[in-house]
Structures are given as C-alpha cells and as structure tokens.
C-alpha cells in the first residue's frame, strides 16, 4: 500500500517501528532512511510529484499537480558540447508543463511534509526558513488549508508570497538571521504539544520529496544519469538524489551505478567545499573561519548559506559525496551571473540565483574534465520562472502575524499561539 515504509538507522541498521521518528533509539546521530516495501518503482498515473507516491512516506494525496519536469536540452547542451544534457526543471514554466508556482523545488519538500503531518494527532508543523522553503509551505497551506507556522528572519518577509491567500499560515518574523529563526521556531514548538518541529534534513518526507527530481530524471532518461549537478546550502538535495538513486539501483531497471554528485556553493560562503577538499567531516563555520555572517552577505544566492548543514553526520552530504565519488565547486557571483544569462539565452527561462550557481558548476566541471562530453548529465534547476509567474498570477504577500525579537517567545506570544492552535488543530 502506498505510504508503507520503515525507518532505518544508517549506522546500526536498526529498523524503527515509529514511522515519525527522527532519531535512532540506540542514540546514533545519523539521518534515518526510509525503506519502502515496493522494491520496483511503480508510477501512479497521477501528475506531478504524486506520480512517485509509492516511494513517498505519505498516505493519500493533496490537490497538488506540480512536480519536476525533466527534458533533454538542445540549446545549452550544444553550447557546452554535451551530447546528453537533461534538465530537471523545478519552477514555473507552463510552456514546458512546469507548475511550481513559488518557483522552487522546495514545493517538492513542502507537499509530502505537510501531508505526512496531517496523519499525526499532534500535527501542526513549525518551519524555520530564510526564503524559498517558507514560501513553498505557505503555498501548500494556501492550496490545502493545512495549518502551518512559519518562522523567518524579518528580512525574508518581502520574499513571502503565494498565488492565493494563505489564511492558515501563521507567519512570525524574527528580528535576527536564519539561525535566530531556527532557535525561535524550536522554542515555539515547545509551547504546545500539537506543534512539531519540521526537522529539515532529518525529515524523510522532505528528502524523499526532493528525491523525486532524481526519479523523474531516471524515468525520463531511461536510466540513472552518470552525473547529477546541484547548488547546495544544506546539501539535503544531494543526499536525497543519492538515496533515490540507491533505490533505483535496487529496482534493477535503471542501471547499477550511482550518479556522481557535483554539488556547488556560492563564494565567498563555501564551507562544505572547503571541508570536502580536505576530505574531512569537520565543517568550519563562524568566527575565526572564512565562513562568517559577513561572508554570507556577499553571495548572490543567499539560500545557499546554511551555517549548520547536515554535512558530517552519518547519512549526510559527506557520505553521499563519498559513496558517489562526488565533487564540489566554489562559484563566484560573476560566474553564476554569466551562467544564468547563458542558460536563459539558450533555454528561454529565467533562473533562481542558486540554479545559476549550479549551471556555472556544470561549466566548471566540463572545463575540469570531471564531466565528460558523452556522459548523461542531470542538471537540477532548483528554481526559476520568477519573471514568467507574474505574467499569469497575482502574487499575494503573506504578512507577518507577529514581529518578535530573537530569543524565546514571550508570554503574550505563547498565549496567542495556543489560542491559534486551538482554532486550527
Ligand atoms: C532554489 C534553491 N536551490 C538550492 C537550494 C539548496 O538546497 P539544499 O537544501 O539541497 O542544499 C535551495 C535552498 O533553499 C533553494 O531554495
């Protein structure tokens, strides 16, 4: 049955019966992995992400038809001299059938995460985000009426919009940065047992939702690609691609080799690139390192500046890079801008700055010889179509219900949030 799965600890292999666990009961810190009873991938006949529902940790569906659109590139492929370049487009581009209206692959995470939350009795998610993730969760709330609490830095509020009003999304703007929003969201979730911290990379619904980019790529190409290219901040998309490819190998119909992961960050904030160059799990971030709050200010793709990515943890990005013989790239703003322009000129759609970073890393990989011209390449365009979406939709700002100082929620917020939960649970 769709929605059946077991969680497994990547360290000790223990199978965990509680389908909502985030940690191994034996105390191992690794990211739990889903094992689905269906060894072969069955396609449901549904559009978008629910085509892959047999490998999603959810029961039922939401009224949501968006998903990745994978197509073989002509223009960019020719420009770069690649014989088999496939683009996994995640964003808004109706001419190609791409219908993620908040313009990023974060909708692929939001949909299964929110659906899975509705299965639980204590089921209102509290999500901390600096941008695209918050917008995606608000949009899914707008479409479905599922309540959600969103905590963002106040600077991210202008990027919070949906294509329909989202009355069941409670938005809290924190006077601080992404790290402050995460800390506040954790404290807020403790206010009422019906609130649950969404969990980021630990949330298997998020990873398996993102993994559908790889599934759609392999189904379109007819086999697992040789190379997978993505820009990363948390690295979760890379881990998800690796996990999805591992399932496809067990399926047996899509080839037996993992794709080599090519993951990119945006200079000057490139802590994972530096750690991977040293081949260490030990990530150096913060004061005394080059990867400070100051460095974060200079990147063209702020969504790529996560200070606590699940990099060294078992089952995280380091392990995914190791397993696939992966590479990492440090991309300057100038190279990203030029690559983004080239992509738009060749393919005909605007990109999220993060997707421009990914495109630049593909160019660098070809120049370095880490991607060969004859190989099959899946380029994950994680976001795009912002110029296109405003032609078809009116963007509705999602206002902050509260603007609060960083720290712990005060008594008034606690009272108000409990009242809000009573009204929405
Ligand atoms: C458009 C876009 N691309 C890439 C990323 C990085 O994703 P990951 O979580 O896989 O590191 C993000 C993260 O927010 C994003 O919004």
Q: Does the beta carbon of 382 sit less than 6 angstroms from any atom of ligand 1?
A: yes
Task: Return the ligand 1 atom nearest residue 236 CA.
Answer: 10
Domain extents in the chain: 69-103+204-388, 124-193+395-424
Distance 21 CA to ligand 1 centre (A): 24
Q: What is the pLDDT of residue 123?
A: 82
Q: Does the beta carbon of 335 sit less than 6 angstroms from any atom of ligand 1?
A: no
Instruction: Tell me which fold the domain 124-193+395-424 belongs to.
Output: Rossmann fold (3.40.50)
Distance 391 CA to ligand 1 centre (A): 24
As for the ipTM of the complex, it is 0.99
Distance 66 CA to ligand 1 centre (A): 17
- Describe the crossing of helices 132-144 and 106-118 by its angle, rounded to 10 degrees: 50
Rounded CA separation 75/73 (Å): 6
Q: Does the beta carbon of 383 sit less than 6 angstroms from any atom of ligand 1?
A: yes
Q: Does the beta carbon of 417 sit less than 6 angstroms from any atom of ligand 1?
A: no
Rounded CA separation 310/30 (Å): 9
Residue 269 in contact with residue 288, Cβ under 8 Å? Answer: no
Q: Does the beta carbon of 317 sit less than 6 angstroms from any atom of ligand 1?
A: no
Q: What is the pLDDT of residue 388?
A: 98
Q: Does the beta carbon of 133 sit less than 6 angstroms from any atom of ligand 1?
A: yes
Q: Does the beta carbon of 266 sit less than 6 angstroms from any atom of ligand 1?
A: no
Other C-beta atoms closer than 10 Å to the C-beta of 121 total 7
The CATH number assigned to the domain with range 69-103+204-388 reads 3.40.50.1100
- Closest residue by CA, ligand 1 atom 13: 303
Report, as ranges of residue numbers, the positions in the chain whose pLDDT lies below 70. Answer: 1
Return all residues near 368 (Cβ < 8 A) that are at least 6 apart: none
Q: Does the beta carbon of 229 sit less than 6 angstroms from any atom of ligand 1?
A: no
> Known binding site for pyridoxal 5'-phosphate: residues?
132, 382
Q: What is the pLDDT of residue 319?
A: 98
Answer whether 69-103+204-388 and 124-193+395-424 agree in fold.
yes
- Closest residue by CA, ligand 1 atom 6: 232
pLDDT in tens, 43-57: 999 999 999 999 999
Q: What is the pLDDT of residue 1?
A: 54
Distance 411 CA to ligand 1 centre (A): 34
- Describe the crossing of helices 204-221 and 236-251 by its angle, rounded to 10 degrees: 60
Q: What is the pLDDT of residue 425?
A: 87
Q: What is the pLDDT of residue 234?
A: 94
Q: What is the pLDDT of residue 177?
A: 85
């Amino acid at each position: 049955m769709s929605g059946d799965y077991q969680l497994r600890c990547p360290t000790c292999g223990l199978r965990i019966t509680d389908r909502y666990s985030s940690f191994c009961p034996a105390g191992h810190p690794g990211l739990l992995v889903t094992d689905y009873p269906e060894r072969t991938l069955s396609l449901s006949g549904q559009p978008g992400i629910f085509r892959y529902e047999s490998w999603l940790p959810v029961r039922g569906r939401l009224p949501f038809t968006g998903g990745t659109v994978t197509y073989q590139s002509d223009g960019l492929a020719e420009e770069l001299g690649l014989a088999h370049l496939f683009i996994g487009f995640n964003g808004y581009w109706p001419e190609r059938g791409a219908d993620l209206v908040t313009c990023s692959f974060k909708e692929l995470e939001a949909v299964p995460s929110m659906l899975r939350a509705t299965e639980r009795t204590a089921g209102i998610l509290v999500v901390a985000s600096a941008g695209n993730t918050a917008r995606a969760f608000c949009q899914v709330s707008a479409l479905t009426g599922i309540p959600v609490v969103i905590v963002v830095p106040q600077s991210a509020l202008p990027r919070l919009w949906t294509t329909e009003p989202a009355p069941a999304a409670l938005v809290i703007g924190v006077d601080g940065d992404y790290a402050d929003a995460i800390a506040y969201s954790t404290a807020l979730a403790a206010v009422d047992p019906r609130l649950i911290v969404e969990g980021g990379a630990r949330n298997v619904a998020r990873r398996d939702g993102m993994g559908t980019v790889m599934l759609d790529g392999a189904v379109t190409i007819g086999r697992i690609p040789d190379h997978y290219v993505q820009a990363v901040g948390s690295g979760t998309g890379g881990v998800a691609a690796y996990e999805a490819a591992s399932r496809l190998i067990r399926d047996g119909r899509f080839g037996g080799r993992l794709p080599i992961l090519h993951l990119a960050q945006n200079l000057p904030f490139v802590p994972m690139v530096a750690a991977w160059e040293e081949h260490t799990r030990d990530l150096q971030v913060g004061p005394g390192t080059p990867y400070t709050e100051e460095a974060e200010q200079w990147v063209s793709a702020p969504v790529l500046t996560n200070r606590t990515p699940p990099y060294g943890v078992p089952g995280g990005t380091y392990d995914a890079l190791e397993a696939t013989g992966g590479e990492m790239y440090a991309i300057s703003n100038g190279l990203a801008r030029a690559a983004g322009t080239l992509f738009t000129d060749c393919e005909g759609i605007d990109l999220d700055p993060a997707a421009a970073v990914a495109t630049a890393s593909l160019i660098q990989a070809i120049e370095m010889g880490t991607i060969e011209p004859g190989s099959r390449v899946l380029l994950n365009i994680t976001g795009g179509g912002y110029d296109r979406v405003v032609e078809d939709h009116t963007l509705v700002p999602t206002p902050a219900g509260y603007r609060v100082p960083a720290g712990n929620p005060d008594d008034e917020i606690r009272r108000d949030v409990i009242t809000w939960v009573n009204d929405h649970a």
